[in-house]
Chain A
């Protein structure tokens, strides 16, 4: 019996100051070309928080607008006003930067994060009003230090600053004097990933209607690595995140695979639950500071706002079958193998048409595909095109080549089975999983039948292999069997054994 997706959390954090101080495009520019026009222009291209909240793709990501509704609104969306600008959505929220700095401190176990005391006093009451933030988290936030102390940390002790409207309001210190794996730069990246993952995980647990103690295993699938010089990627963001989110009965581990990691992690989680190893598994990932403003040069050059101004996070809860929630079909997953080859048609065949053939389905039997759901407002001006649409064209083109679709129906196929991209370009965040929350809602309402989640990853960026990677799985409505109502395999074995014994004794008697 397949496991089910019980709920999801999707969060964004608006981080305008972190674009300049932590996004690699900007930090590289500050080293290579410190007087560049680009650096001077950034500030006038930053969006205020209310514009970020009124942005169609962001409202779609947190669940207030469905992707099916978004598909009816012609883009680019950056100049439009969404019908809602709520901070809170069906799946999560858009947290402002100042409150998030407090959450970073709450995620810190080693007294590495220091905040200005006036800043804490002014911001803590705001964070306390956020209904998802627990007492445990609020208690972890310390009173704060004075400006002089913060300045000394940043200017003399190698700490990374945290800024609000260019003013220093916090510092993240290095965790070791010489180990580059514990530098202030790495620690801020890791703590940001952890803190945003905590936020997404809190929402996933709440939205699944379970108690935090129900989660037995937490898999992190972000793109960061934690460890020291003796074990650089030692890991376990999963367990570390579960701790802050109050999942006291959970252990965990990390799944990595560049942008494909979330799809791998959901597949692993669904298999662990199906196997009976755990009853409830959380899959979670936080955001990446490095990618803030990644395509900022192109956006500024084209007179656009810097659209990569938010961190993204997501989490899903996978549980044993409850007879109600959508199932994750782990029997017909697709995977790009070592020997698959890197040509687009080999890739799409391995991820889409081969698993569908195994399941006895055609390309048109999937209502919606969720490949890489990057927001085209961000990627098109940067020369990367409309990524989800390009993926849909490839799926359609392969179906034409394999004879499942007429060439003349290709455009209509893309239109009917594809959805617009609405996820921030945070690497692993857009890859397949953004649709899972909306897909669950639509399946529970009986509006959508089958969805295919496709995760792809550029492994070659790590320079350890030249391979590409990807996995895919199908989400489908519940077939109505629940783990509680069905007979277990142990019971079946017992019944068979009993009837064999009866049969054998019957044979003996007849002799």
Chain B
């Protein structure tokens, strides 16, 4: 994950209650989603950014996962995300995200 984004997420967790924060990802495939999700839960697996060795355990979803889809305004979802639903391998992404949440997230429902 981009080093600046790691810093911004880390700062947000210091400003707000980490339990109330949900990180939404838009990565294009499973592995990249998994790395980003791992970064905000267990810490930066590439040992490059501010979240290296920092286990925030945040709640994290990909925007195309069923768990969060119901929360969007359907019109906004249609306009912003529906095309990408045709393009992305959503099953692969969802599987990767679920595995990371189960292993590292401290707050997932």
Number of interface residues of B (CB under 8 A): 17
Q: Taking the complex as formed, is A394 at the interface, i.e. its CB lies under 8 A from any CB of chain B?
A: yes
Contact yes or no, B28 A401, CB < 8 A: no
The minimal Cβ–Cβ distance linking B79 to chain A, given in whole angstroms, is 7
Alpha-carbon separation in the docked complex, A33 to B47 (Å): 9
Chain A 12-36 interface residues, beta-carbon cutoff 8 Å to B: 28, 32-33
Contact yes or no, B86 A400, CB < 8 A: yes
Contact yes or no, A390 B28, CB < 8 A: yes
Contact yes or no, A343 B79, CB < 8 A: yes
Main secondary structure of the interface of B (DSSP, over half): helix
Contact yes or no, B46 A398, CB < 8 A: no
Q: Which of B16-24, B29-37, B67-75 contacts A (4 or more CB under 8 A)?
A: B29-37
Q: Taking the complex as formed, is A463 at the interface, i.e. its CB lies under 8 A from any CB of chain B?
A: yes
Alpha-carbon separation in the docked complex, A394 to B86 (Å): 8
Chain A 335-394 interface residues, beta-carbon cutoff 8 Å to B: 341, 343-346, 348, 383-385, 390, 393-394
* Across-interface contacts of B81 in A (CB, < 8 A): 343
The minimal Cβ–Cβ distance linking A34 to chain B, given in whole angstroms, is 13
Selected from A297, A401, A407, the residue in CB contact (under 8 A) with B82 is A401
Query: In the complex, which residue of chain A has the Cβ closest to the Cβ of B26?
Result: A344
Chain B 1-44 interface residues, beta-carbon cutoff 8 Å to A: 4, 28-29, 31-32, 35
Number of interface residues of A (CB under 8 A): 23
Q: Taking the complex as formed, is B109 at the interface, i.e. its CB lies under 8 A from any CB of chain A?
A: no
The minimal Cβ–Cβ distance linking A478 to chain B, given in whole angstroms, is 35
Contact yes or no, B87 A394, CB < 8 A: yes
Query: In the complex, which residue of chain A has the Cβ closest to the Cβ of B83?
Result: A345
Contact yes or no, A385 B32, CB < 8 A: yes
Alpha-carbon separation in the docked complex, A345 to B29 (Å): 17
* Across-interface contacts of A390 in B (CB, < 8 A): 28, 87
Chain A positions within 8 Å of B, measured between CB atoms, are 28, 32-33, 297, 341, 343-346, 348, 383-385, 390, 393-394, 397-398, 400-401, 407, 410, 463
Q: A345-B80, A401-B83 are in contact. List 6 more A-B contacts (CB 8 A).
A: A28-B48, A343-B81, A344-B87, A383-B29, A383-B32, A393-B86
